[in-house]
Amino acid sequence: MRITTLRLRAKRDMNRRMNDTRVTPQSSAATTGRHFRYYDLVMAAFVAILLLSNIIGASKPSYVTLPGIGEWSFGAGVLFFPISYIIGDVLTEVYGYARARRVIWTGFAALLFMAFMAWVVVSLPPAKGWPHQGPMRLCLATAGGSCWRR
């Protein structure tokens, strides 16, 4: 009698498990570690801000008239570059030091790649009849923050 009761209880438990409607996570992120929903977007924003603040900032001087001081001149990239510090702090607090460091190194690699590609573009001989090689060289040298590309 005891064996029959145990068999019935085991069969009832097995049926409950089979009919259970709760979904258990089976994704690789659930088994291997945490999945960060916005990490890729934050990394893309950080890298874009780094690249654009270097391109726009050096090549577009602007000014603001301050009361009592007068005109204050600055590069336009100065407006956006501090956002990269805010994103870096958010990355460290939300995603941890290792992931924040990975994003910062990715941004640094993107800056190096941008500088290399600018050098390649300036070094290529212009097509015959294209009169804008001088302005292009000046624009890319200014955007890079130095004149080493000449």
Question: Which tens digit of pLDDT belongs to each residue from 92-150?
Answer: 999 889 999 999 999 999 999 988 888 888 888 877 887 777 777 776 665 555 444 44
Q: The pTM is what?
A: 0.61
Question: Which tens digit of pLDDT belongs to each residue from 106-120?
Answer: 999 999 998 888 888
Q: Is the dihedral of CA 71, 74, 75, 80 positive or negative?
A: negative
Count other Cβ atoms within 10 Å, centred on residue 42: 19
Domains of the chain by residue range: 37-144
Please work out, in degrees rounded to the nearest 5, the angle formed at the alpha carbon of residue 145 by the alpha carbons of 143 and 122: 55
